[in-house]
């Protein structure tokens, strides 16, 4: 058998990335496209298949040398059936994504959660190298988590473990997108910060934020909060401090339950806010964890950025097909 290549694919609500990787999971080529979910599920599915075909063509690698596709998608999945059960940002409900891409490309597909893929990518080639028990927590519009236990991806009974964003920290807290109140995601995600920022800006209590992003919640990207902090805006400082406080409490619950060696923090919010945000989070984490469990836990920023899910999805596919 000749050289082995893999396709890693990361499907997001705003963009999708197809990549071709060698057997060491080095990315050789990539294609990025806008997802455009407003055009409907059919258009998104066709765009996924077209991106995969384009990355194969541009790489120059013979299709016969490509062993399979690792496809990372957000939301709730049925991995056994290869179905995306629900992903709000895409509007997917019960979409047989795996079989569709297999039929379109003629290649076997392994479907996995995007945060699982990102965590596994960091585990094998990023900040998680050298650890056997770790958590990946990624903050963006929402908050997702992935778990590595004893050197293996842990998915739980039906493949959807790691929903750290939906731990309830306040039973009477803000309404979360899942329908519950007081989830970590409703208290520390970028969207939760944006909701509070809009309210403060509209009431005249946050003039710096008002000047940067107005009162349209769609304008409050992670970079806006970073800019406001550079302007030494006290309102933004307090918003971010509160988010870090709740994130630390959520992570403390995870440490007390799982006893990991390391926690990797990633996602757009962490990338933009950087080390000060991680430092605030760690302070809260240490204040709320059991003393016997927290001393040796390493907390660090993710290293691979967008590449994490590409590397991880390809590597998880390789493991899946090896076991079949």
- Evaluate whether 5-119+306-323 and 131-301 have a shared fold: yes
pLDDT by 10s per residue, the chain, length 324: 568 999 999 998 889 999 999 999 999 999 999 999 999 999 999 999 999 999 999 999 999 999 999 999 998 899 999 999 988 778 899 999 999 999 999 999 999 999 999 999 999 999 999 999 999 999 988 899 999 999 999 999 888 899 999 999 999 999 998 889 999 999 999 999 999 999 999 999 999 999 999 999 999 999 999 999 999 999 999 999 999 999 999 999 999 999 999 999 999 999 999 999 999 999 999 999 999 999 999 999 999 999 999 999 999 999 998 866
**Can you give the pTM of this predicted structure?**
0.93
Helix (H, G, I), strand (E, B) or coil at 299: strand
User: CATH assignment of 131-301?
Assistant: 3.30.420.40
Alpha-carbon distance values, 187 to 147, 150, 169, 248, 269 (Å): 22, 31, 9, 11, 14
| Domain residue limits, the chain | 5-119+306-323, 131-301
Helix (H, G, I), strand (E, B) or coil at 106: coil
User: CATH assignment of 5-119+306-323?
Assistant: 3.30.420.40
- In total, the chain counts a number of residues equal to 324
Token couple for 97? 């994504």
Cβ distance 143 to 164 under 8 Å? yes
């Amino acid at each position: 058998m000749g050289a082995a290549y893999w396709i890693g694919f990361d499907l997001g609500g705003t963009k999708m990335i197809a990549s071709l990787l060698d057997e060491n999971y080095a990315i050789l080529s990539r294609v990025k496209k806008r997802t455009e979910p407003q055009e409907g599920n059919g258009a998104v599915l066709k765009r996924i298949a077209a991106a995969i075909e384009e990355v194969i063509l541009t790489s120059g690698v013979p299709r016969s040398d490509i062993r399979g596709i690792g496809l990372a998608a957000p939301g709730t999945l049925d991995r056994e059936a290869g179905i995306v059960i629900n992903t709000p940002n895409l509007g997917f409900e019960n979409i047989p994504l795996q079989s569709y891409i297999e039929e379109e490309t003629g290649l076997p597909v392994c479907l996995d959660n995007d945060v699982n893929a990102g965590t596994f990518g960091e585990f094998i080639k990023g900040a998680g190298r050298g650890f056997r028990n770790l958590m990946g927590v990624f903050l963006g519009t929402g908050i997702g988590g992935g778990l590595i236990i004893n050197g293996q991806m842990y998915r739980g009974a039906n493949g959807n473990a790691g929903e750290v964003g939906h731990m309830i920290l306040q039973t009477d807290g803000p309404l979360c997108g899942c329908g519950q109140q007081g989830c970590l995601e409703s208290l520390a995600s970028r969207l939760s910060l944006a909701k509070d920022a809009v309210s403060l800006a509209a009431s005249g209590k946050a003039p710096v934020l008002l000047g940067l992003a107005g009162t349209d919640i769609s304008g409050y990207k992670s970079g806006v909060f970073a800019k406001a902090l550079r302007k030494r805006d006290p309102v933004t400082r307090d918003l971010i401090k509160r988010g870090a406080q709740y994130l630390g409490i959520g992570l403390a619950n995870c440490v007390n339950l799982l006893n990991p060696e390391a926690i990797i923090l990633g996602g757009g919010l962490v990338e933009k806010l950087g080390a000060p945000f991680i430092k605030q989070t760690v302070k809260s984490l240490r204040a709320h964890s059991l003393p016997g469990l927290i001393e040796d836990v390493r907390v660090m920023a993710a290293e691979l950025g967008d590449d994490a899910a590409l590397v991880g999805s390809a590597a998880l596919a390789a493991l899946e097909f090896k076991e079949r």
